[in-house]
Amino acid sequence: MKAASSHTQEAWHSLCARIAAWFPDPDHPSRHDRRLQLVRPDLAASGLEDRAPKSACLRRPVLKRIVAGTAAIYNEPSTAGPAADEALFGEDVLVMEERGGWAWGQLMSDAYVGYLDARTLAPVSCSPTHRISHLFTHLLAGPDIQSAMIALLPFGARVTVVERSDDGRYARIAERDAWIATQHIRPLDEPVDSPLAVARRYLGAPYRWGGRTAAGIDCSGLIQMAFLFTDLPLPRDSDLQLATMQGPLGARVAPDAARRGDLVFFPAHVGIMVDERHVLHANATHMMVTIDPLGDVLGWLEAKGHARPLVGIYRPAVCMAAD
């Protein structure tokens, strides 16, 4: 078993490498975006001295793991405002501070910085082996369909399988010493569906700002979940996703050359092309995930006063590699 400090150091280096892959230019504005930086006026992560105010205390973060089904992430330590992001069971967080029931840290899966309920976190003592492959699955107290439900785990949650039931139908996970159906998990190293196929799973899911599950998801959360287990995990927000596509990880294509799997960006909105003329997106027009003609979406935005409703269409590198 690795020491906690070793887990933390590996996580920190992995996170820095991910941000550098998104934005290779050290001077790219997005690389220093406050949403991706463990920096506050009073506190900052060691290694970010060049970006921290002189008044900030430098401290090494501690790696912890989400052990609730989901955990909302806020920009401030308060539930009064909307959630900015959502952490999933088994995702790791680099925690800088715990105070007043809140933890301030950085989510490893998308590098987003914010505040979350400290009760949803636990120390990291193992490496996940599997991911939830269904939209939701029940975490059970025992290996039986009549066992009490402990939590509801969403698609993309990570778990560490340590034992299987005698009949092979259930797996015990280390994070909560509880059981899940083996039909609902896949090894982390198993090839994943295409981003478009994953996005299609969420059709009909309600729209919810800051959400990343089928219980509620927003436009950029949908795109992020679609690419989560590919070789190109994306940042959380649509503007950061666009900035990523404008670098070496994407290529801009003309509207008449768009095809399935391309990402289409609008003002403060993003979707994924289903074919040459239709886009799948989580939207506030229908308040759910839908497939709509691209022309209709552009028309809605024009009606709202956007003179340039189409920002651009980009082909992710993972889609180009699959050609």
Q: Where in the chain are the domains? A: 4-123, 130-187, 195-321
Instruction: List the one residue out of 17, 320, 88, 288 whose CA is nearest residue 194.
Output: 320
Residue 160, number of CB atoms within 10 A of its CB: 17
For residue range 41-64, list pLDDT tens digits in order.
999 999 999 999 999 999 999 999
**Lowest pLDDT segment from 141-145, 167-171, 265-269, 319-323:** 319-323
Contact between 170 and 181 (Cβ < 8 Å)? yes
For residue range 117-174, list pLDDT tens digits in order.
999 999 999 999 999 999 999 999 999 999 999 999 999 999 999 999 999 999 999 9
Instruction: List the one residue out of 300, 246, 248, 247 whose CA is nearest residue 269.
Output: 300
Instruction: List the one residue out of 148, 156, 76 whose CA is nearest residue 110.
Output: 156
Strand partners, 63: 94
Confidence of residue 319 (pLDDT cuts 50, 70, 90): confident
> In this predicted model, which residue has the larger pLDDT, 301 or 321?
301
Residue 302 DSSP class:
H
Residue 205 DSSP class:
P
Helix, coil or strand: residue 231: coil
For strands 92-99 and 62-66, give the pairing. Answer: antiparallel
Output the pLDDT for position 1: 47
Please give the structure tokens belonging to residue 159. 């778990």
Domain 195-321 belongs in CATH node 3.90.1720.10: yes
Percent of the chain with pLDDT over 90: 92
Instruction: List the one residue out of 22, 8, 6 whose CA is nearest residue 317.
Output: 22
**Mean pLDDT across 241-252:** 97
Strand partners, 73: 85
Indicate if 195-321 has the same CATH topology as 130-187: no
For residue range 185-224, list pLDDT tens digits in order.
999 999 889 999 999 999 999 999 999 999 999 999 999 9
Residue 323 pLDDT exceeds 60: no
Strand partners, 180: 171
Q: How far apart are CA 279 and CA 271, in angstroms?
A: 6
Average pLDDT, rounded, for the chain: 95
Output the pLDDT for position 232: 85
Q: How far apart are CA 58 and CA 11, in angstroms?
A: 18
What are the DSSP calls for 103-137, one per residue? EEEEETTT--EEEEEGGGEEE--S---EEE-SSEE
* Choices 3.40.50.2000, 3.20.20.210, 3.10.25.10, 2.30.30.40: CATH for 130-187: 2.30.30.40
Confidence of residue 18 (pLDDT cuts 50, 70, 90): very high
Output the pLDDT for position 290: 99
* Choices 3.40.980.10, 3.40.50.300, 3.40.50.1110, 2.30.30.40: CATH for 4-123: 2.30.30.40
For residue range 19-29, list pLDDT tens digits in order.
999 999 999 99
**Mean pLDDT across 284-295:** 98
Contact between 260 and 275 (Cβ < 8 Å)? yes
For residue range 104-119, list pLDDT tens digits in order.
999 999 999 999 999 9
Q: Fill in the amino acid letter for 146.
A: Q
For residue range 58-76, list pLDDT tens digits in order.
999 999 999 999 999 999 9
